[in-house]
Structure 1
Amino acid sequence: MPIRVEDDDWSDSDDEVVAGVETDVLLGVPDGSVESDNDLRDAAVSRIGGLPALLPSREPPFPSSQCNNCSNPMELLVQIWCPFEDSTMDRALYIWGCARASCQRQPRSVRAWRALRYNAEYAAKLEKKKARKDAQRKAAGPAPVNDANPFSVSNPRRVVPTNSSSDKMQTPAAPSPFGLGDQIFGQASNSPFEPSPAEEVDKDDDQSDDESEASSTEDSLITAMASTTIQESPWMAAPSYPATYLSTMTEYIPPVPKTKIPENARMEDSADDDKGGKDGSWGLEAYENTLKVDLVFERFTKRINHAADQCLRYELKGTPLPFASDKVFEALFPAPPQDPLPVTGAAFKVVSPVKRSYNVSSIPHCSVCKSSRVFECQLMPNLINVLRAAAKDKDTDSDRKLTDAERIKAVQDALKSNQTSDRRGMEWGTCMVFSCEKDCCLDEDGKDARECWREEHVLVQWDE
C-alpha cells in the first residue's frame, strides 16, 4: 500500500520528502500511439493528444475547446478517465491548450472540463454490493473506519471493455528499489486513468448472479464508449496532435545512494585556491551569495527526475508540486506572518526557515454548487516534448507520401502561413487543475442531473 508522503508544508530548508517510499501520486506516462478506432472513440481510454472521446450523450458545445484569448480552437492535451470509486457516474477530464505564441502567459489559454454521465448498470451493481456489505456488517458487528483514498491503486472501478487494446492499456508497475524503476510495463493494476481488470468485478457476487449478468457486464456496465459521434461535427475538424496512450504508475522515491569515499582519496579544501584573498575563501563565498537560486524549481526538478518521462501527476485532494517561486506559488503556499527583524546589534535574533502551508483559499469555488475546489492533477513539462515529437513524426510520415511537386507546394504554404500567423509552441512549466470537491452534477434548477459538462479552474506556472 502506498505510503502517504506529506507535502502540505514547504520550507526553503527542506531537502526532499522521505526517500525509499511509494507516494499517493499516480504518474501518467506515454505508452505508444493509439491506432485502434475503438480506443479512439472510447472515453475510458486515457490519452495524450488526439480528438476527444466525448462522454456526455449530448455533444458539448464546441467553443469549450476554444482559447479565450484568440478564440481559435485548441488542441486536446490530455483526456483522463477518472471515475470516483463507488460513484454511479462515469467521469472523464479533458484539458486543452493553445500553442499560439501570442497566447502564452495569457489567462485561460489552458482550459479543463469535467464530464459526468449516470451509469444505470453500475448504479444497480453498487446497490447490490451495498446491501450485501450491510448484511455482512450487521452480522459481524462494528468495523473500523476506512479512510482509504478512492484514487489509490486499489480502486475497483470498471471492467475492461472487450473492444479495447488491452495490451496498451496495461498499467506499468511502480518502480522498485531493485533497479527496475519505471521501465517495467505490462503488469495490470487499478487506477483512475484506466478501466479495472475483469477480475476486479465483485468476487463476492453469487455465481448465479455472475452468469445471469455476464453479457450485460461487458455490454452495458461499461457505458464509457463515447455515445456521441463527432463524424459530422466541428469536433472532427478540430486541430489535434497524434493520440498516444496514457498509462499510469505509482510514484516511487528511491533512497539516496550512499557515496563511498576510497581509502586512498585525498581531501582538498577549496580555501586552498589562491585566486582571492589570503585564504582564497572570500572569492567563492561572494560569488555564491550573488546567485539567485530558485529553491522551488530546484525541488521540482529533483522530484520529477525520479521518473523523467512523467507527463501528468494525479492526486485527488492532494498537494500540487509547484514549478517555481512565482505568484502562483505565493498564492498556494503563502508565507506566515513574521515578526520584523531587529534593527540594532544588541537585539540580534536568529530567524528560522519559513514554513509555508498549502492553502486553496485563493482558488475560486465551484461556479455551480459553490463548493470548494480541490487539486486533482497537473501537467508536466515532458508532455510538451511528447506532443512535439508525435507531431513531428506525423509530419515526417506525411512527407514520405507526397510527390516532389506536392512537397514543394507544402513548403510554400508553410512559408505563407508563417508570415500571416503566430509562431506556435507552448511555454508553460506546469498546469494545475482544481475540480469541484463534491464532483457536482446539477441542472440549471440546482437538481441532480444524469450528465453534465463543467469547466474547472486551471492555474499555470509559465516557463521563464
Structure 2
Amino acid sequence: MDPYDSDSSTDEDFAETNVLLGYAADEVIEDTISHLGGWPKWLDESTPPPGEFANCQVCNSPMLLLLELHGDLPEHFSNNERRLYIFGCPRKPCNRKPGSIRAYRATRKVHLENPQPSKQQEKPAEKKPVPEPAPAPAPAPPKPKQDLGASLFGATSLTGSVSANANPFSSKPGGSLSGANPFATPQSTTPAPAPKPALSQSETNALAESFADKVRLSTPGVENSIVPSAITKQTPESASTPKLWPAQSEFPAPYQNFFLDAEYETMSRASTPTIPDNVQMEPMDEDGGAGSADLKDTFESELDKAFMKFSTRLAHNPEQVLRYEYRGAPLLYSYADQVGKRLHPEGTAAKVTTTGRGSIPRCEYCGSERVFECQLTPHAISVLEDGREGVGLGKDDSGMEWGTIILGVCAKDCAPETMNVTGWREEWAGVQWEEMK
C-alpha cells in the first residue's frame, strides 16, 4: 500500500496564520465597502479628500483607485470609523518613481450606541437586597439600527462598537472564521440617516454597482467640513483656497470593480523548504564552482533570497490579492531595495520591523509611530488589468510594475477630536517594484 494516500489528508496537514487574505470577487458577497478598482466611496460623502490627494506627485494628473478597505478596528479604536485607500498613477513615465502610488486614511470619531455592560456589571449583586418601592418603568431603550449586512447577507450583528466587529481586521475570532465571511458590512452607529435627494441618471450610471452606492449614510445636522490647517498638510497659499476633489470626468477610465472575500491564511505543513536566513547564496562560475561575490552578486543574492520566500509563501494561496495583519509584519518582495532595507535592516535575520527607529516613517500629523496594516500582492495586478488593453491612456497606459505595496498607518489613528467630523491623512505607501531583468 502507498505510504501516502492523498485522500487521507486532514486539517493537521495545514497550519492557519494570523494573516487575513483578500480574494477578488465579481459580485458582492457580504462586504459592500471593501473593493479593488472602481470608483471610491467616501466615509462621508459630504467630505471628500483634499483635492491635492487626487494627483500623482510625479505628473500631477489624477490617479486611479487600486484599493478601498473598510478599516474599523473596534478593539483598538472603539470610537473611530476608518476607511483606507490606495491610489496609483497608470501612466508609463511615472512608473517606479516616488509619489506615483499614494495611500490615505479617513477617520471619523462617533458616539458609541448601546455600549455593552462590563463583565462586572453583568454579575448579580452579592449583597442582600433591600426592599424598595417598585420604581416607575424605565422608558424602553431605542432600538438599534438595522444591520444592513445581517439583513442582506446573513452576517452576525453585534452592538457596542463602531462597526459591530464585522470588520475582519479587528481580531482573529476564535482562531477561525467559523464559516462567516469576515468582510461583512458593519452596523452603523451614526444617527438615523436623513433623506437625501435622488441622484441624477448620469450620476447613478457613473457609480460602481453595489448596495453601498444606493444607500448613502450621513449624519444630519453636523458640519462635516475639514479644517485644512489642522487636518491636511497644506501650504500657506493653498490653505486659504483648498483644492477640491476633481470630478469623475477628469480621471482616466477606472479599473474594473472587484469586491473582496476573505479567509485566514492556511499553509501546507509539507511545503517547499524555506531558505534559512543564515544561508549565503553565491553565484556559480561557468565551471560549476563558487565564485567570489562582488557587490552586484551580493545584491542579487539578497534579492533571490527574499523573493524566494515571498513567492513560496504566496504559492500556498495564489489567488490572494491582499494580505492583512494589523500591527503585524509585511511579507517583503526584496531585502535590497529602499523599502527592504528599511523594514529588514542588516543583521536582523528573519525579523521584519515595522515600528521603532529606522523602520516605517512616523506620522507627519501627530508624530506617532506607524504600524503595518496591509499590503497588495502581484495577483492584484492581474485582476485589475485583465481585459484593460486599449482602455484609457493608450500607449502610456503600460501596466503596473510593482511587486507589492505595503501600507503603514498611524498607530494612534490620529483624527479630529470633534465628533462626526471626518479627517483625512496621507499614510505611508512602501512600494517594492518589480526587478528589471
Shorter-chain TM range is 0.5 to 0.7
Change (3 A) 1:312 1:282: closer
What corresponds to 2:17 in structure 1? 23
1:454 maps to amino acid? R
SS of 1:116's equivalent in the other structure is strand
What corresponds to 2:264 in structure 1? 250
What corresponds to 1:381 in structure 2? 378
What corresponds to 2:109 in structure 1? 118
User: How many Å apart are 1:58 and its aligned residue?
Assistant: 1.8
Inter-partner Cα distance in structure 1 for 2:385 and 2:85: 19
Contact 1:335 1:357 in 2 (8 A): no
Q: Give deviations 1:188-228, integer Å, cap 9, x for gaps.
A: 23x3x4326x8xx9xxxxxxxxxxx9x979x9xx9995457
Inter-partner Cα distance in structure 2 for 1:125 and 1:436: 28
Q: Give deviations 1:69-88, integer Å, cap 9, x for gaps.
A: 11111110011112012512
Contact 1:76 1:94 in 2 (8 A): yes
2:109 maps to amino acid? Y
Asked if 1:425 is matched to 2:399, the reply is: yes
What corresponds to 1:371 in structure 2? 368
Change (3 A) 1:139 1:435: farther
Contact 2:110 2:419 in 1 (8 A): no
Contact 1:441 1:448 in 2 (8 A): no
User: How many Å apart are 1:61 and its aligned residue?
Assistant: 2.4
Inter-partner Cα distance in structure 2 for 1:164 and 1:71: 41
1:331 maps to amino acid? R
Change (3 A) 1:114 1:138: farther
Asked if 1:55 is matched to 2:68, the reply is: no
Q: Give deviations 1:100-134, integer Å, cap 9, x for gaps.
A: 111111112111111122344xx1222xx0x3434
Inter-partner Cα distance in structure 2 for 1:233 and 1:456: 18
1:304 maps to amino acid? L
1:20 maps to amino acid? F
What corresponds to 1:304 in structure 2? 314
Select which of 24, 27, 34 maps to 1:46. 34
Count of residue pairs the alignment pairs up: 318
Inter-partner Cα distance in structure 2 for 1:97 and 1:310: 19
Change (3 A) 1:96 1:19: farther
Select which of 82, 105, 120 maps to 2:71. 82
Inter-partner Cα distance in structure 1 for 2:314 and 2:73: 26
What corresponds to 1:334 in structure 2? 345
Q: Give deviations 1:260-311, integer Å, cap 9, x for gaps.
A: xxxxxxxxxxxxxxxxxxxxx9944448998954110000000000111111
- Structure number with bigger Rg: 1
SS of 2:320's equivalent in the other structure is coil
User: How many Å apart are 1:368 and its aligned residue?
Assistant: 1.8
RMSD across aligned C-alpha pairs, in angstroms? Answer: 4.3
Counterpart mapping for 1:249-288 below 5 A:
249-256=263-270, 283-286=287-290
What corresponds to 2:424 in structure 1? 453
What corresponds to 1:324 in structure 2? 334
Contact 2:108 2:419 in 1 (8 A): no
Contact 1:311 1:379 in 2 (8 A): yes
Inter-partner Cα distance in structure 2 for 1:328 and 1:455: 18
Inter-partner Cα distance in structure 1 for 2:272 and 2:367: 50
What corresponds to 1:210 in structure 2? none
SS of 1:105's equivalent in the other structure is coil
User: How many Å apart are 1:21 and its aligned residue?
Assistant: 1.5
What corresponds to 2:56 in structure 1? 67
Inter-partner Cα distance in structure 1 for 2:263 and 2:212: 25
Contact 2:402 2:431 in 1 (8 A): yes
Q: Give deviations 1:348-385, integer Å, cap 9, x for gaps.
A: xxxxxx55552533322112221110000111101110
TM-score under structure 1 length normalisation: 0.59
Select which of 184, 191, 198 maps to 1:194. 184
Select which of 88, 97, 121 maps to 1:135. 121
Inter-partner Cα distance in structure 2 for 1:282 and 1:388: 40
TM-score under structure 2 length normalisation: 0.62
Identity value in percent: 32
What corresponds to 2:353 in structure 1? 358
Inter-partner Cα distance in structure 1 for 2:305 and 2:125: 55
2:62 maps to amino acid? P
Counterpart mapping for 1:170-181 below 5 A:
none
2:402 maps to amino acid? W
Contact 1:112 1:458 in 2 (8 A): yes
Change (3 A) 1:235 1:92: farther
Inter-partner Cα distance in structure 2 for 1:72 and 1:96: 12
User: How many Å apart are 1:316 and its aligned residue?
Assistant: 0.4
1:104 maps to amino acid? N
